[in-house]
Chains A and B, each alone.
Chain A
Amino acid sequence: MLIIDCPYCGERDETEFSYGGEAGIARPQHPESLTDAEWADYLFMRSNPRGPHRELWNHAQGCRRWFVAVRDTVTYRFSETAALQAGASGDAE
């Protein structure tokens, strides 16, 4: 069972959180100008790496804030959790 370091509340048990999948998937600015394949890339395609993964978590049973984390999908270790930067989809870029 993971321990997750909520940037707002501190370390809490995994059961307080809900998972939000890959971070950094910004909604396209002009969806209507995309091809079906480009839209599908945004909608469905995921990097799903074996190793460090930038992902979203929500402290659902705490502060209800979404934040971004980097977690290794093999060791399950978090190397970083951080508040969302102003920007799209939790992407700090």
Chain B
Amino acid sequence: MQNSRLPSGGRIDRKRPLNFRFNGHRLQGYAGDTLASALIANDVAVVGRGFKYHRPRGIIGSGAEEPNAIIQLGRGATAEPALRATQVELYEGLEASSVKGWPGVKFDLGAINDWAGAALAAGFYYKTFMRPAKLWKFYEHFIRRSAGLGTAPSLPDPDTYSHRNAHCDVMVVGAGPAGLAAAVTAARDGARVIIADEQSEFGGSLLASRESIDGLAAPDWVALQCRTLTNSKNVTLLPGSSVFGYYDYNFLGILQQCAIEPGAQNPGRIRQRLWRVRAKQVVLAQGAFERPLVFCNNDRPGIMLASAVSTYVNRYAVRPGRRAVVFTNNDSAYQASLDLHRAGVNVRCVVDSRPGGAGQIAESLREAAIPVHCGSIITNAYGRKRISAVEVARLDLSQRETLECDLLAMSGGWSPAVHLHSQAGGSIHWDDDRHCFVPAPSVQPNRSVGACNGTWTLATCLLEGHEAGLAAARNSGQRLPRDQFERTVSAAPKPANDAANEHATTPLWRVPGARDPERLPKQFVDYQNDTTVSDIRLAAREGYTSIEHLKRYTALGFGTDQGKLGNINGMAILAECLGKPVSAIGTTTFRPPYTPVSFGACAGESIGSLYDPVRKTAIHRWHEDQKAHFEPVGQWLRPSHYPVNGEDLQSAVQRECIATRNSVGIMDASTLGKIDVRGPDACKFLEWIYTHNVSKLPVGRCAYGIMLGEDGMIKDDGVMSRLGEQHFYVTTTTGGAAGVLAWMEKWLQTEWPQLRVHLTSMTEHYSTIAVAGPNSGRVIEKLGCDVDMSREAFPFMTFRSGNLAGVPVTLSRVSFSGELAFEINIDSRHALDTWLKLMEAGREFGITPYGTETMHVLRAEKGYVIVGQDTDGSVTPVDLRMNWLLSKDKDFLGKRSLARSDCKRSDRKQFVGLKAIDGKTVVAEGAQLVTGQPGRIPARIPIPIAGHVSSSYYSAVLQKPIALGLIRAGHTRVGETVLAIGSNGVEVPVEIVSPVFYDPKGERQNVQ
């Protein structure tokens, strides 16, 4: 069972054993364990395999920096790849497996690469597999198969994610000593505080500390601070929440782990919540990462960071080994030797590279009778699946000695976690005394405190946190009333032990060897990507000397730990190669996220049906009841056709077309954009927007209008109705509605602010019902209408206001089908009711609802364009033969562009009708038009393209196919036969004809 569980201590609940499986083995841990600590308790040494050389790997760290213990958690839809065992909290039934190794982690055939090492050095893949080019995909297949840290689930995610926005005065990142001190102080000063820590328990390093603060044992002090914060109404505590991104304007992203069981399904519960926080002030107290030491075979299982060893012993009460050696270049690792000693582990010695050894803490080791070898190093480690011994030597490599051990705790000094400071735009600089990057002054309102500021002693961390909390609260301005705290802010917390007498870290970036590093066993710098010292030296030799080149060439820092462990060592080793100080190497950018964030959490609620809002007309429900087929148009859902008796699209459309042409059809046109334009200068304004003479439009009349971009290309079209001298009502296309209104507003406000005009969107307020066909007027009259519907009293392109079935409406006599037709504009509240009444009244005429498809056919029969289908941003009104709409009397937007040389070319693509020569082929919409005879087009690629088919249908009323398109100089080529060639490559001869196929004289709109 848990052979390496210590008999007592730790922050685990021994009354709650938890069963779990790792690589198929049944194991047990306790509540409070991480998967990593539970694996150590069960003496599992090999947890994974290296990326390139497939060497056995063990747990090295205890948190976000872990590069080796990458596991796949759970199964099925809730599986999670690439998690760090050090961050996975144990739960009952947890199932995890290693992500590397075939057939398994214990025996991995890929380990053969370890022997081929030198041929697989950095960048080897750039130097081979170059020819033949086709074979690359073959090699690549195997490379791809060997890559990857886990498998994506093969089922959709059943879990729920949520977003929450929050504002605060002071955001504290990290709840270790400095962060807690900052949060408590800021809260006492009345600031609204949010404090987040990636661990589920606040306290950070204090949870594994044996210090005491303000007379309390460190964990008790933490508990007291947490109680204080929990009891404050102005504080939000976010445990288990990783602040992953620090963006502009003090915007921070926090990923909160809501469900305890990350691999389990949590129906009805939020699995993760993404907090989007705007903070007035930010205190960064994220701590620091311990650096590994770089020596031969430093990747063997059983070699761990010293701080991780302390954490496992003190916090989780597990023993990562039985016979330990400690290797360090600074004082902090001495604590690990003491912790191990207290836990009953045989600490054989501390190997300290510094000739002078440690400061005050060395005393404690003497008391514990732990030998210290100063000025010594570890040059090699032995044992493959677990270390069995290490080689110790003097710095000059003399006095070599092999020491048996199964645990090596190492510390190469500390790197402050400057990630968020850097993400926030702050620069960092190399500190030659502390041998690490420390934050330079920030550019956003934030302060770094504690270890992430390069501050190592507990007393100073607490003091910095306290002062920063106070300053942040004071600088955040507005404050909540201080109702629950004393007005005086207490002094900074103080630890019992102020380790002022600490000896400085002495850099040891790479343990020297008797031979070139290239000829020694591998010395790993980046564990996850298997980047070694010789890789870095090779990159430098080949000229990849910029740190960014080095990283990209060797993959240093590109693992899922993003270089938290290896980057600094790697930079220093590069500096050594180049004979430069580390400060001259520069640093790479710290990019978000600090730790990985699930896609689901980033997307939040905006998935599935909430991916994009659905806009529905007031009549939508009726369409649904009729089992209409819908198509998305912009954000709207519009009926495309109404199949009956299992009709397919084409039969439905033909039926709808015939019914409309022969009697009456009805369409929900509510999605058209509608803009109310009014004010003394409304006419003047619209003169700029539209190309025709707006002032000549009498009140009561409608006009078709187009608008151009300033580039002269068709932007949108619609019908303009003049409701009064200073009052217009214009419609736009469905898709263009929002854009057109915004565009009009921009011109109005920025270019012509002196014009007194108000623009109001009426799209949602009014519904539009189009009733088209020879019987349309009769249907409307049947409802009881006080408008004289006679042709004389209500001529084409006019509108009338009146009452229809007792409801006020505006009727427009406009037609997009060429038939007698009316558009009923009606308050959306009455739309459905009126629609139903029209359906009832129309029954005797066989009134037929039609959708967008039929509307497209009807208008194509008349040669009317649809902006966005027959135009594409490169089409002018002249190309469409709409010259009649272009006023010569005024300037309008886009007019000047029409006079540019390219717009005046006579061989521009121009709008034409197209008729299949065989009289039966419906050419594909989008087919290209090529000049030439069938089978005779030039074989030389590229084949010149003359134009394309923009619309193409079978016309039921004409009993033949019709098409519209744009073709070079089309207006002069009527009668010519060209080829339409679709994606299937079939050549269809088509004749260029007038685009008006039906009722060319336009008589039907006056049928009554």
Contact = CB atoms under 8 A, between A and B. Distances in A.
A and B touch in the complex (CB under 8 A): yes
Interface of A: 1-3, 18, 20, 23, 26-28, 31-32, 34, 36, 39, 43, 56, 58, 60, 64-66, 75-76, 84, 86-90
16 contacts: A1-B251, A2-B248, A3-B249, A18-B742, A31-B891, A31-B896, A36-B900, A39-B896, A58-B742, A64-B745, A65-B749, A66-B745, A75-B443, A86-B754, A87-B753, A89-B750
Given A1-B249, A32-B899, A27 B425 contact: no
Contacts of A32: 891, 895-896, 899
Contacts of B742: 18, 58, 60
Nearest to A89: B750
Contact of A43 (B247, B248, B711): B711
B248 A76 contact: yes
A66 B896 contact: no
Nearest to B738: A60
A84 B899 contact: no
B751 interface: yes
B116 to A, nearest CB: 47
Nearest to B903: A36
A2 B901 CA distance: 42
Contacts of B710: 43
Interface in B897-919: 897, 899-901
A66 B753 CA distance: 10
A56 B443 contact: no
B278 interface: yes
Contact of A66 (B746, B754, B891, B899): B746
Contacts of B249: 1-3
A31 B895 contact: yes
A28 B710 CA distance: 12
Interface in B877-908: 891, 895-897, 899-901
B896 A84 contact: no
Contacts of A1: 247-249, 251, 276
A93 to B, nearest CB: 14
A89 B749 CA distance: 8
Given A39-B897, A39-B900, 15 more contacts: A1-B247, A2-B248, A27-B751, A32-B891, A32-B896, A32-B899, A36-B901, A64-B745, A66-B749, A75-B443, A76-B248, A84-B753, A86-B754, A89-B750, A89-B751
B750 A84 contact: yes
A32 B606 CA distance: 49
Interface in B741-780: 742, 745-746, 749-751, 753-754
A34 B899 CA distance: 11
Contacts of A66: 745-746, 749-750
A31 B751 CA distance: 15
Contacts of B896: 28, 31-32, 34, 39
Interface residues of B, number: 25
A65 B901 CA distance: 37
A20 B186 CA distance: 40
B35 to A, nearest CB: 35
* 6 closest residue pairs by CB, A with B: A31-B896, A66-B749, A3-B249, A1-B251, A90-B750, A89-B750
B753 A86 contact: yes
Nearest to B753: A86
B248 to A, nearest CB: 5
Interface string B241-253: 0000001110100
Interface in B923-951: none
Interface string B422-445: 000100000000000000000100
A56 B746 CA distance: 9
Interface string B113-141: 00000000000000000000000000000
B746 A20 contact: yes
Contacts of B443: 75
Contacts of A3: 249, 278
A87 B753 CA distance: 7
Contacts of B248: 1-2, 76
Contacts of B891: 31-32
Contact of B897 (A28, A43, A58, A88): A43
Which of B425, B710, B754 has the most chain A CB within a 10 Å cutoff?
B710
Given A39-B896, A43-B711, A66-B745, A20 B251 contact: no
Nearest to B896: A31
Nearest to A20: B746
Contacts of A34: 896
| Residue of B742, B749, B750, B891 most packed against chain A (CB within 10 A) | B750
Nearest to B901: A36
Contacts of B278: 3
B214 to A, nearest CB: 39
Nearest to A42: B710
Contacts of A75: 425, 443
Contacts of A60: 742
Contacts of B711: 43
Interface string B943-977: 00000000000000000000000000000000000
Contacts of A65: 749
Contacts of A58: 742, 745-746
Most chain B CB atoms below 10 A, which of A31, A34, A87: A31
A84 B749 contact: yes
A65 B758 CA distance: 12
A31 B248 CA distance: 41
B881 to A, nearest CB: 23
Interface string B261-279: 0000000000000001010
B773 to A, nearest CB: 40
Contacts of B745: 58, 64, 66
Nearest to B253: A1
B453 to A, nearest CB: 23
Contacts of B895: 31-32
A28 B249 CA distance: 37
Contacts of A36: 900-901
Contacts of B900: 36, 39
Nearest to A23: B750
Nearest to A68: B750
A20 B748 CA distance: 13
Contacts of B754: 86
A43 B276 CA distance: 39
A56 B897 contact: no
Nearest to B709: A43
B635 to A, nearest CB: 15
Contacts of B753: 84, 86-87
Nearest to B747: A27
Nearest to A40: B900
Contacts of A43: 710-711, 897
Nearest to B276: A1
Interface in B249-299: 249, 251, 276, 278
Contacts of A31: 891, 895-896
Contacts of B276: 1
A31 B900 CA distance: 11
B235 to A, nearest CB: 24
A88 B251 CA distance: 35
A34 to B, nearest CB: 7
Contacts of A28: 896
A88 B746 CA distance: 11
Contacts of B746: 20, 56, 58, 66
A3 B276 CA distance: 13
Contacts of A90: 750
B677 to A, nearest CB: 15
A43 B708 CA distance: 13
Contacts of A56: 746, 750
Nearest to B761: A64
Nearest to A67: B749
A18 to B, nearest CB: 7
A16 to B, nearest CB: 13
Contacts of B751: 26-27, 88-89
A26 B747 CA distance: 11
